[in-house]
Structure 1
Amino acid sequence: MSTQPVQTSVDARGIIAQRDLVVDLIRTACVVLVVIVHVTMVGIAADDAGIRVTSPLQQADWYVPATWVGQVMPLFFVVGGFASAVGWRSTLARGGGARDWYATRLVRLFRPAVPLLVVLALGLGVTTALGTPADLLATVAFGIGSPLWFLAAYGITQCCVPLMARLHASAPWRTLGMLLLLAGLVDAVRLTTGVADVGLLNLGPVWLFAQQLGFLWADGWFRQRSRALLAVVAVLTYAVTVPITLVGLWSPDMLQDLNPPMLPLALLAVAQVCLVQVLHAPLSRLMHARAAQGVVFLLGRDGMTVYLWHLPLFIALNGIALFIGVPFPAPGSATWWATRAVAVVVVLATALAVARGLRWFDRPLPRLVPGSDRPAWPVVALAVLCTVGPAFVVMQLHLSFGVAVLGAVLVPIGVWLLSRTVPAAGVTRI
């Protein structure tokens, strides 16, 4: 057993839940890697032919193999499952329930998105009124809005935590097996019918499977296995996943298998969590260093805001550079690749500055005071639709002025509804 620094709390069943700082490290690393992928995926070409948006990363010969490393969303949902297991047990320990869970988790997830959606609605409205070419605006809006799919997928998994926690407590392996089977069945129907939208059903099984792995992680299951066994499981998982992506059923491009999520991502989650535990000891020693803790705290504290804002800011910074006449290297050239490290640092620094300015939106929902309660179930259900719904629409229809306005109106309403407290049953005043 490793000697990682932890915080401990006791859940409603008396189980000690540990805050593993390696989890914080992985969560932060995933956000940074997403920023790196997007910065290397978007290339701006400005020449006599006009302004064009290209994707140098996807044109590279090594792109497809690199997606097996760069596709970290399965691991992100595993880490989310770890945090959800600890958070749900803490909710139960202090006497809360499902409505309290929905309010606290969804407010923490969607409130940071409110200023972004307002800015996007205003920005797209202004640029449309100024006569920006429709094809260029659509390309830019598609890129800016692409990370918002995460709000829909993660919001769905968070809404399922109370149910999935009960299933995990009673039958963890049967639950994992059923989710994996459902993911395979959804893909089979999608592949045989050719109806791509059928794959949307896998927003449940694939990401919930990864979340359940996070529950196992929080239980200490992976920590109790030998590194040799976990390494074997990871190798065997890759040995299964790689061939099935080479026969035409699924793409070997792990980013292409993301939306809608497909079975290979569930298998990738198994391999990734096993490899993290294999490397847990050195990662834990790293997190003992004050410098590492400082970096993780700096980036991880504002992780959601950085994730939401990094692409809009990257596009805006490129627009400013074009306006003031900064020379742009040809996308994909040696000079362009050499400047990517600088671009990543600039985007992260700018996103952190924005996050500091928007810290008010990233505050957690206060805990209930004695005699108060969260809104009634119908109100919570309406709030879930108001928050998760617009993100789902972005995922399906892509970002546009109308979709941005929809989100800018509904998401704040949903957050406000979840933030309200009411007198508990039988209590006349708070």
Structure 2
Amino acid sequence: MVDDFAGRAGAAAPARHERDSDTPPALASETARDRAVDALRAFAVLGVVLGHWLVTAVVADSGTFRVTSPLKYLPHLAPVSWLLQTMAVFFFVGGRVAVESRGRARDRGAGHGRWAAARMTRLFRPIAPLLGVWSAAAVAMLAWGADPGSVYALVKLVWSPMWFLLVFAALTAATPLAARLHPAWPLAAVAVCDLVRFGLDGPPWIGWINLGTGWLVPYCLGVLWAGGRLDGPVTRWALLFGGAAATAGLVLWAGYPASMVGVPGAPVSNQAPPTLAAVTFGLAQCGAALVLSGPLRRLLRRPALWALVAAANLSAMTIFLWHQTAMIAVTVAVLPLAGRALPGLHAVPGDPAWVAARLAWLPVFAMALAGCLAAFHGRGRPGRTRLKAERRKGARAR
């Protein structure tokens, strides 16, 4: 199974080539698929996982749990969020993949409705097992007398990242519109919303318009990338340095938060809803992705590296859905065993020692996530038999 690639990355060279050849044809063909796109998606998944694991703290306090962040107590660590906030890369890659997928579907005679329905099914079907597990867990915890506030905090921690799927689904359905829309238009809409919200004391709800328009900017850039309109080096470096300069200016002189993730208790968040600073930061990330795409293609000619990227892509949805559950499972399970709040796990993240301890817990979170992958990868998703047949067909063709 391709899911086992990451765990056997250190095997001998023949085994690496075997794993590479076992990759499904949909991921194995260099002519049909740009491996840099898959590498960027894997990077985005890694950023989400590490971001949540590093900037989220479930604090145990007198038999209850509450969620906070080390960035609340250690604001000088805000630059860490610049590396871990990778949502713009998701939408950038998503725009390219969607427009290419829709083009192939159109060539086969499939209409937009049929194509969009298939994409929505693939996007939302894997949520069913998570919904079932956490519904049962919440009922069980409440039945055993758990504090309702603690149960709510844990359930919210799992479900809060699901906003991404809703926005991504809406933009996917609107791909024909995105294909005709220049990203400058949604960027201007974000700027206007922020001007009304912050500069003219407009109603706070107006900022939520940016939940659509803000992520439409990298999505539209992904559409342009698919059409070859971002291939020039000037465009790539202009996005990178222009976006970075604009973000720095907004943070230094316009009062936007330095953190690119939400911080509990902060008066303004760059993510809920997205601000102009978050969008310009996304422009810089898109530029960096374009600059790195060439070197990534060359690196991924190596079978072992490509096997890891393929494994991450084939498990991306499961990783995204279950990584918070893995962290919570370790946090809750260890507390009664330890008999006290442990640094980096249950304690208040108020000093650098907590950060060091949290880094030491990351391998344990990873093992718990591996257990979730083993239990839930592929569940709620059709086509496992078809995928195996596709692998065999690809092997016979070689």
- TM-score of the superposition, structure 2-length normalised? 0.78
1:215 aligns with 2:215: no
Select which of 299, 302, 307 maps to 2:312. Answer: 299
Partner Cα distance (1:293, 1:275) in 2: 20
Q: Aligned to 1:354, what secondary structure does the other structure show?
A: helix
Q: In the alignment, what sits opposite 1:254?
A: 260
Instruction: Find the residue that maps to 1:204 and give its secondary structure.
Output: helix
Counterpart residue type for residue 89 of structure 1:
G
Q: Distance in 2 between matches of 1:340 and 1:95?
A: 51
Contact kept in structure 1, 2:327 and 2:365, CA below 8 Å: no
Q: Check the 8 A contact 2:129/2:376 in 1, yes or no.
A: no
1:340 aligned onto 2:361 = yes
- Report the counterpart of residue 39 of structure 1 in structure 2: 53
Partner residue, 2:247: 241
Give me the whole-angstrom Cα distance separating, in 1, the residues matched to 2:362 and 2:86: 20
Separation in structure 2 between the aligned mates of residue 281 and residue 117 of structure 1, nearest angstrom: 40
SS in 2 for 1:131: coil
Q: Aligned partners of 1:96 and 1:258: how far apart in 2? A: 36
Q: 1:49 to 1:128 in 2, by over 3 A?
A: closer
Structure 1 residue 366: deviation in Å? 12
- 1:143 to partner: Cα distance: 1.4
Cα shift at 1:326: 7.2
How many equivalent pairs are there?
Answer: 343
- Aligned partner of 1:140 in structure 2 is 154
3-state DSSP of counterpart to 2:253 = coil
1:275 & 1:182 partners in 2: Cα distance? 24
Q: CA deviation at 1:91?
A: 1.3
Contact 1:313 1:351 in 2 (8 A): yes
Runs (5+) with no aligned partner, structure 1: 9-17, 169-174, 368-430
2:49 alignment partner, SS class:
helix
Aligned counterparts of 1:156 and 1:263: Cα–Cα separation in 2:
20
Shift of 1:79: 0.7
1:148 deviates by: 1.0
Post-superposition Cα deviations, 1:233-270, rounded to whole Å, max 9, x if no partner, equal: 41122112211123345322211311212222322222
Corresponding residue number in structure 2 for 1:129: 143
Shift in CA distance, 195/119, structure 1 to aligned 2, threshold 3 Å = farther
1:182 alignment partner in structure 2: 189
Are the counterparts in 2 of residues 254 and 265 from structure 1 also a CA contact under 8 Å? yes
1:363 aligns with 2:377: no
User: Deviation digits for residues 371-419 of structure 1, max 9, x if unmatched?
Assistant: xxxxxxxxxxxxxxxxxxxxxxxxxxxxxxxxxxxxxxxxxxxxxxxxx
Q: Structure 1 residues 202-211 or 244-253, which shifts more? A: 244-253
What is the Cα deviation at residue 6 of structure 1?
Answer: 5.5
Which residue number corresponds to residue 95 of structure 1?
109
**What is the distance in 1 between the residues matched to 2:123 and 2:235?**
36
1:176 and 1:229 map into 2 onto residues whose CA distance is 14
Shift of 1:44: 4.3
Separation in 2 of the partners of 1:262 and 1:163? 23
| SS of equivalent residue, structure 2 residue 133 | helix
1: CA distance, partners of 2:333 / 2:129: 21
2:214 paired residue among 206, 213, 229 = 206
Q: CA deviation at 1:321?
A: 1.9
Query: For residue 167 of structure 2, what is the aligned residue in structure 1?
Result: 153
**Distance in 1 between the 2:96 and 2:29 partners?**
14
